[in-house]
Amino acid sequence: MTTYTSELRKSLVSEEDVDILKIMAHPIRLQIVNELSTRKTCNVTQLTELLNIPQSTVSQHLSKMKGKVLRA
């Protein structure tokens, strides 16, 4: 059995990877990414209708993912 030191474990996962995982831990964000992965284009209004959640909620989650998970 292999034993890893804490320093080795830290080097296996970057801070950027940890940040992305934290962002993607929310179920609504996972739903948004899932919907976006099945469409060429999709705007906030369409996501609101697809997910049946308020526009402000969609916008808030998109904002948190912008730059880290989503690229324009």
Domain segments of the chain: what residues?
14-65
The whole-number pLDDT of residue 53 equals: 97
Asked if residue 10 has pLDDT above 90, the reply is no
Buried b (16+ CB within 10 A) or exposed e, 26-39: eeebebbeeebeee
28-70 pLDDT, tens per residue?
A: 999 999 999 999 899 999 999 999 999 999 999 999 999 888 7
**Spatial contact of 52 and 32, defined as CB atoms under 8 Å apart:** no
Question: How large is the average pLDDT for residues 1-29?
Answer: 79
The burial class, CB within 10 Å (0-12 / 13-18 / 19+), for 51 is middle
Instruction: Classify residue 70 by its DSSP letter.
Output: B
The whole-number pLDDT of residue 47 equals: 97
Query: pTM for the complete prediction?
Result: 0.75
